[in-house]
Amino acid sequence: MNKYYLTTPIYYVNDRPHIGHAYTTVVADALARYHRLRHDTTYFVTGTDENSQKNVQAMEKAGENDLAAYLERMAIAWYDTWRELGISFDNFIRTTEARHLAGVARFWKAVQASGDIYEGTYEGLYCTGCEAFKTETELIGDKCPLHPNKDLEHIKEKNYFFRLSAYREELLKLYAKGNNFVMPESRRHEIHNYVEDHLADVSISREAKSVPVGISVPGDLDQRIYVWFDALLNYMTAVGYGTDEAQFSTFWPADLHLVGKDIIKFHCALWPAMIMSAAKNDPLLRNADGSAKIPKQVHAHGFFTMDGVKISKSLGNAVDPREFIPNYGFDAVRYFLLREIPFGEDGDFSRERLASRYASDLGNTFGNLVNRAIAMSKKYFDGKVPPADITESSLPVNEQSVWDGKGGLDAIKSAVESAYAGNRCDVVLASIWDGVGDTRRSGLFQANKLIEETQPFKLVKEDPEAVGEILYALLESLRWYAWLMHPVMPNISVKIFEQLGLDARAELSKGWVQGLKWGGLTPGAVLGDPSPLFPRPESEGV
């Protein structure tokens, strides 16, 4: 059995989740659900990044002064939003938890024992928005381009440094093309160039007197660990590093870290170098051949923008994903986020696009298909799955069109599987909608086209047997689509199974490989009741 461990970034709690955060989290959830359907031992972690100055500033702005209470309230808000969006995380980690602190201390000591931590003085500009030091070349004017409305802090203080530059060669090897460590390719180039030309040692602590929060450096209470050094470690502490060696050994290394494009330097350079260093002194972090257990892949996505500007808490254009759930249901919101922009690229968020995709892709193209196929079968075949030769893999209907039922669905299934394997949920959905089919594409089973070209409602009088075959193939294709889209739209998928007269739980427990075999519907079995999957939204406004 394979294991599959994937993560989202952990989110700052200086505000509530917006559409951009929901995007990463929904992609991760779809991939986790896909792997569970494949019966992989899947573990999906998300959580909150709590030792950040940004959180303290937000608390003060809200007029509060109890940091622990603020962090807890906000962590719950994130947790609840994810649950409302159907996010099926296995573990939600907060970096103020004791289990995290235990792992951070263990890791720090391992890096220290490798001789990679030294004392020095840092002088430079710090952006609390990014929680990072900035060099002159990274600024536009005297501002951070990602946080133009925040002033940078000038800092000069004693810090601990991490010997990041010592890992340059090892990192460059890690970025070799075939490794797929950094995805997509454009980001691999970006990080490769950065490490080749600019990699320098980094400060990994701050003076306790100048930052209000942070985990203390083991053995030096005057220093706090730099928030990114602590935050990255959540990926390990969430699966037991420092508290549960057996669990850690089961899941580590992570198979996938999903991140936004703004945080790839931390994930693709600092993080693997930290592990390479600690591995020298911590056997839990080493493979049998002595190499470090580095995560398998970091896949970076682009930004949701609003009129071309990144959606962001600090820019004040945040959109709360929960706003759309009453009108469209969470499946449709998930569909929209994943379908709207090619994974890896930026794209604009618009309420009009959401409304139009809901009405056209979901309602007209897919919802109507489900309704028509089930209603016709019920009408012509006494409420039952029509009789058909289910061992038959092709479906010759007339001379102009030969609809290869099984072969045509297999082609869609293969496209969907390779898209899931490449974390491309946008391509998953595009491939399914190719199969639903409004535009003729050769080699695919296309449900809407099949109805249009064979007109079963007319053909039924002269050739009921052929109509039985056609409708069987249509219903069976719906069962396949329900499987293929389940990771993205779990509730809709369950409704489709139910309308097809299946017990959804029993169906899903077959697993992906058994479930996606031609002939899953039994001719003569009683169909469920059709009802609109995507009803008209109650309010036209959103």
Nearer to ligand MSP, 259 or 411 (CB): 259
* Residue 18 appears among annotated catalytic residues: yes
Catalytic residue among 144, 265, 293, 301: 144
Q: Does 29 bind ligand MSP (CB under 6 A)?
A: no
Q: Does 12 bind ligand MSP (CB under 6 A)?
A: yes
Region binding ligand MSP by CB under 6 A among candidate stretches 5-13, 319-327, 441-449, 481-489: 5-13
* Residue 268 appears among annotated catalytic residues: no
Q: At its nearest, how many Å lie between ligand MSP and the CB of residue 270?
A: 10
Is 167 exposed, middle or buried (CB count within 10 Å of its CB: 0-12, 13-18, 19+)?
A: buried
* Residue 378 appears among annotated catalytic residues: no
DSSP state of 179: G
DSSP state of 164: G
Instruction: Out of 4, 5, 6, 11, name the contact with ligand MSP by CB under 6 A.
Output: 11
Binding flags for ligand MSP, 512-531, as an x/- string (CB under 6 A)? --------------------
Residue in the block written with tokens 């092709």: 394
Q: Does 231 bind ligand MSP (CB under 6 A)?
A: yes
Report d(CA 338, CA 186) in Å as an integer: 20
Q: Which of residues 351-390 bind ligand MSP (CB under 6 A)?
A: none
Nearer to ligand MSP, 309 or 513 (CB): 309
Nearer to ligand MSP, 299 or 413 (CB): 299
Report d(CA 237, CA 215) in Å as an integer: 14
Q: At its nearest, how many Å lie between ligand MSP and the CB of residue 187?
A: 12
Q: Does 146 bind ligand MSP (CB under 6 A)?
A: no
Nearer to ligand MSP, 298 or 388 (CB): 298
CB atoms within 10 A of CB 28: 25
Region binding ligand MSP by CB under 6 A among candidate stretches 8-16, 99-107, 379-387, 531-539: 8-16
Q: Does 9 bind ligand MSP (CB under 6 A)?
A: yes
Report d(CA 539, CA 166) in Å as an integer: 59
Name the H helices within 126-270.
168-174, 185-198, 227-232, 234-237, 245-251, 264-265
**Nearest residue to ligand MSP on Cβ basis:** 260
Report d(CA 460, CA 437) in Å as an integer: 22
Report d(CA 327, CA 188) in Å as an integer: 40
Q: Specify whether the CB–CB gap between 282 and 204 falls below 8 A.
A: no
Q: Does 337 bind ligand MSP (CB under 6 A)?
A: no
Q: At its nearest, how many Å lie between ligand MSP and the CB of residue 312?
A: 6
Catalytic residue among 35, 54, 100, 147: 147
Query: SS3 for 347?
Result: strand
Q: Does 21 bind ligand MSP (CB under 6 A)?
A: yes
Catalytic residue among 134, 267, 301, 310: 310
Nearer to ligand MSP, 21 or 206 (CB): 21
Q: Does 272 bind ligand MSP (CB under 6 A)?
A: no
Instruction: Out of 262, 404, 417, 453, name the contact with ligand MSP by CB under 6 A.
Output: 262
Positions of E strands within 277-433:
298-301, 304-306, 309-310, 347-348, 395-396, 402-403
* Residue 130 appears among annotated catalytic residues: yes
Region binding ligand MSP by CB under 6 A among candidate stretches 17-25, 333-341, 399-407, 432-440: 17-25
Q: Does 24 bind ligand MSP (CB under 6 A)?
A: yes
Q: Specify whether the CB–CB gap between 508 and 37 falls below 8 A.
A: yes
Residue 315: what residue type? L
Q: Does 480 bind ligand MSP (CB under 6 A)?
A: no
Report d(CA 251, CA 239) in Å as an integer: 7
Region binding ligand MSP by CB under 6 A among candidate stretches 15-23, 39-47, 137-145, 530-538: 15-23
Report d(CA 133, CA 124) in Å as an integer: 7
Q: At its nearest, how many Å lie between ligand MSP and the CB of residue 394?
A: 44
Catalytic residue among 127, 257, 265, 406: 127
Token pair in block for residue 102? 């235990």
Name the H helices within 128-208.
168-174, 185-198
Instruction: Out of 59, 259, 388, 508, name the contact with ligand MSP by CB under 6 A.
Output: 259
Is 139 exposed, middle or buried (CB count within 10 Å of its CB: 0-12, 13-18, 19+)?
A: middle
Report d(CA 248, CA 86) in Å as an integer: 26
Residue 491: what residue type? N
Residue in the block written with tokens 């070349």: 137
Nearer to ligand MSP, 9 or 515 (CB): 9
Q: At its nearest, how many Å lie between ligand MSP and the CB of residue 247?
A: 20
Q: Specify whether the CB–CB gap between 412 and 434 falls below 8 A.
A: yes
Q: Does 44 bind ligand MSP (CB under 6 A)?
A: no
CB atoms within 10 A of CB 238: 31
* Residue 144 appears among annotated catalytic residues: yes
Q: Which of residues 295-314 bind ligand MSP (CB under 6 A)?
A: 303-304, 310-312
Report d(CA 412, CA 409) in Å as an integer: 5
Q: Which residues bind ligand MSP (CB under 6 A)?
A: 9-12, 20-21, 23-24, 49, 231-232, 234, 259-260, 262-263, 303-304, 310-312
Tell me which residues are annotated as active site. 18, 21, 127, 130, 144, 147, 310, 313
